[in-house]
């Protein structure tokens, strides 16, 4: 996008003419980070990004909360279910 800092991005988001584009870009970044939660090598970075940039929370009891403050149900996924979820997120990103 040609911006020099994270703060510049946030400043542009407050301007009505850039709000939609910046919001869509941030949503794509959030979707990518969410997919990395399922990746052994990207999990810690994804947790850091989601909590520090998108308002996600991980409590002491390991309950995960979304940016709306509500709990996110967690489950152990089979490899097939995990791949289906990743494919779903990739498909969303294409729209």
Kind of pairing between the strands at 71-72 and 57-58 = unpaired
- pTM here is 0.47
Per-residue tens of pLDDT for the chain, all 95 residues: 677 887 887 888 888 898 888 888 888 888 888 888 877 777 888 888 888 888 887 665 556 677 777 777 666 778 888 888 888 888 887 75
**Cα–Cα distance measured from residue 18 to residue 13, given in angstroms and rounded to the nearest whole number:** 6
Q: What is the pLDDT at residue 90?
A: 83
**What's the full length of the chain, in residues?**
95
């Amino acid at each position: 996008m040609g911006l020099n800092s994270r703060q510049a991005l946030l400043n542009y988001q407050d301007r009505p003419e850039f709000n939609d584009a910046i919001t869509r870009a941030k949503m794509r970044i959030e979707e990518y980070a969410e997919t990395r939660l399922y990746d052994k090598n990207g999990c810690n970075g994804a947790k850091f990004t989601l909590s520090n940039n998108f308002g996600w929370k991980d409590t002491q009891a390991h309950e995960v909360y979304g940016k709306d403050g509500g709990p996110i149900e967690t489950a152990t996924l089979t490899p097939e279910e995990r791949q289906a979820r990743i494919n779903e997120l990739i498909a969303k990103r294409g729209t």
